[in-house]
Structure 1
Amino acid sequence: MENNIDFKDLWKKQSVSQSDIEDLTARLKQFKKAGVRSLWKTNILLFATSAFILFVWYHYQPQFISSKIGIVLMILAMLIYVVVYNGLLKIYKDIDTSQTNQEYLQKLILIKRKQQFMQSTLLSWYFVMLLSGICLYMYEYASRMTLFYALITYGVTLLWIAFNWFYLRPKQIKKQEDKINNLIGKFEDVNKQLNSDL
């Protein structure tokens, strides 16, 4: 059975109303816009953060090699994350209104797979590299503190990273998964309706 049905012809089908299709294409456009906007925000924030870290390196001239390795690790973590994350941009740009229902589904499933890879493997490496970089960078300054203040400094930093990892990250992942699963589910429902009409 052929699933490559043009969206523009869907209104002709009795079980799928034109308003449902218009709503679905509007949701897809909104999803695409939000995805591209998120990509741009991430690029700008990570670029600004990297620029700030380089400024700190240049301005404060850390003496310990651990500080320099820490800075390189942090910037490398952000660079790797941005490069892989920007792979989604091409997929988002490839989504247009002239595609068939099956092509929309394939793009959404591809985006979902990439997001799952990023949310598990890539984000884990990102956090490990970032945490290592921050701890190495802070060592030079913590070594000048009393043990009490050094422990507080590391403790607050590690608590903030743990909060991000255990609370913010799962919420963000769930939000992204809900959005894409909802959209995929709606396209699959339209597919089923169309297949039952054929």
Structure 2
Amino acid sequence: MDNLNELKAIWQTAKTDGLPTTAEIVEMAKKFRYQKLRNKVLSIVVGVGAIVLMFAFYLNKPDLAISTIGGIICTVLACSILIYTNARSMKRFIDMHDLSNKQFIEFLEQTRHNQLYYYKYTQVFGLLFSSIGLLLFLYEFVQKNTAMSAAFYTIAVLWTLFMCFYMRPRNFKKQSAKMERMLASLKKINDQLQ
């Protein structure tokens, strides 16, 4: 009986400050799943919409310059990369039902690994194709005026550099920090349960 009282005293003195409740954990998982699915669906819709608009406006114009056609092809490739990667990863989030704590932590670690791969490789190729596509696509329209060409290409290159070297790392750090906080709190809870 004395051991039971000691165990009860230890149980009641355990520090649970900073640990979310089970309802908060379930809500966090649902919110995470919903946000990721929403973002993936939105990315797919934007990619398909861009491809449809490209073909709708420029498919019936046989007198396009080779640079414009190259720009369209590069832009369609960038949109296709976006559509493919988001459609492929959507299955993981759709199948994310009734996971145990350990399975959810493994799921988040795999998601973090996928985000790193996307940041290092997939996003780079998508940004490369879309930037080249933009520069090639509008060449035909701005080539006649030297000042307009210089202004356009200066703005386009500055925008690409801004997106590549400022926005992309900044967004990745924010997403990564958010994922790390979520993983740390869930690991802390999981360690308490074991």
Instruction: State the TM bucket, normalised to the shorter chain.
Output: 0.7 to 0.9
Mapping 1:43-58, distance limit 5 Å: 43-58=44-59
Structure 2: runs of 5 or more not aligned: 1-10
Distance in 1 separating the partners of 2:172 and 2:85: 17
| Comparing 113-122 and 58-67, the one that deviates more | 58-67
Mapping 1:134-173, distance limit 5 Å: 134-145=134-145, 147-173=146-172
Structure 1 residue aligned with 2:25: 24
1:59 Cα deviation from its structure 2 partner: 5.6
1:86 counterpart SS class: helix
Question: Which structure is larger by alpha-carbon Rg, 1 or 2?
Answer: 2
Distance in 1 separating the partners of 2:88 and 2:185: 25
Structure 2 residue aligned with 1:6: none
Runs of 4+ residues over 4 Å off in structure 1: 13-19, 59-62
Identity of aligned residues (%): 19
Higher relative contact order (CA 8 A, sep 6+): 1
Per the normalisation by structure 1, the TM-score is: 0.82
Structure 1: runs of 5 or more not aligned: 1-12
RMSD: 2.2
1:151 counterpart SS class: helix
2:99 counterpart SS class: coil
Report if the CA contact (8 A) 1:71-1:133 is conserved: yes
Cα distance per residue 1:58-97 (max 9 Å; x no partner): 365552112101101111111012201222211112222x
Compared CA separation, residues 19 and 143, structure 1 to 2 (3 A):
closer
Structure 1 residue aligned with 2:189: 190
Report if the CA contact (8 A) 1:16-1:194 is conserved: no
Amino acid at match of 2:31: Q
